[in-house]
Structure 1
Amino acid sequence: MRLSKKAWEHLLEHAKRCLPEEACGLLGGHGDWAKAFYPVTNALHSPTEFFMEPSEQLRAFKQLLQDGYELVAIFHSHPPAPPIPSRRDLERAYDFERRQPYHPSVRHLILSLMDPEHPVAKCYRLTDDGEFVEEELSIEEG
């Protein structure tokens, strides 16, 4: 996935502001190019899990569409942990009854803030088998 530098900076600022809680939000763009970040409040106010506040998530999604984008990725941070999907992340992204991701074409961007001065982000796609597969992530101008 390609992430615009502007979206990266907005996402990073939001995640640091939410510390020590997990931050979350949506990334809008086209195909594999995420151009805009839409922050959403973590309704759980937890450092180890997130659940997007429903009305804010809907508002962010509507704004994303009004801006002419499609949903490219779901973002959340791991303040005290590496940017590796947790079991809870899988449970919230995968329909075990139907054996498929809830959003098959959407990527998952996880940001580790174990060291806030040196953040590490990774991008994943969730397969039909319920496995997170890491994809290349690049931050680019534009």
Structure 2
Amino acid sequence: MRSLSIIYSSIIAENLPILKRLLLKRSVFEEIRRESEKAYPLEACGVLFGRLEGEEAIVSKYRSLRNVIETPGRFWFSEREWMKVICEERKLGLDYIGLFHSHPRGSPIPSPADRHRMLECPGEVWVIAAYEPKKLFKLCAWVILDLNWSFSKIYITVVQEGISGSHTA
């Protein structure tokens, strides 16, 4: 069964545009920061929605998911909850952009476990926050480009509400 998943992921990866920039609405940025603080010392997690425009993703909405792993340094969520949230937002006309999670007392770089999970959905954006009280809040976005585990950092721009797409360049 695992080999079918890899074949399916390969087909998906061949047809996805390569994102080079993530525009994150200020309200989404603030919500992610609050979720990271609230979950600390555990990892926060959620789903990002918006729209895809060529090489840009405009993230206009964040939906929190419950971290079902109650161990510091790990996260995952109920796939049923994840699918339900995606279906609800797609009905509203939003594109699924990817996942968010925090790294308490860590860096915003994908861990080996993160990279393994990212390989399951090439092209899916992973936004990772480094959160620790009284420290600088850092946010980075990543995407797996192919089945060779090459992953790429995506440039993030936090934008005010009402600003979208290439008009901000």
Q: TM-score range by the shorter chain?
A: 0.7 to 0.9
Verify: 1:108 aligned to 2:129, yes or no: no
Aligned pair count reads 135
Distance 2:88 2:30 in 1: 19
Which residue of the other structure, out of 77, 81, 87, is the alignment partner of 2:106?
A: 81
Unaligned 5+ segments in structure 1 are: 95-101
The normalised TM-score by structure 2 is 0.74
Match of 2:16 in 1: none
Distance 1:35 1:108 in 2: 15
Q: Which amino acid aligns with 1:106?
A: E
Distance 1:69 1:17 in 2: 26
Report if the CA contact (8 A) 1:39-1:60 is conserved: no
Identity across the alignment (%):
21
1:136 aligns to what SS in structure 2?
A: strand
Match of 2:28 in 1: 7
Verify: 1:20 aligned to 2:45, yes or no: no
Which residue of the other structure, out of 63, 70, 84, is the alignment partner of 1:38?
A: 63
Which residue of the other structure, out of 148, 152, 160, is the alignment partner of 1:133?
A: 152
Any runs of at least 4 consecutive aligned residues in structure 1 with deviations exceeding 4 A, and if so which? none
Report if the CA contact (8 A) 2:101-2:129 is conserved: yes
Report if the CA contact (8 A) 1:16-1:116 is conserved: no
The normalised TM-score by structure 1 is 0.87
RMSD (Å), alpha carbons: 1.5
Deviations 1:53-90 (A, max 9, x none): 23322232122213211111211100021000000001
| Bigger radius of gyration | 2
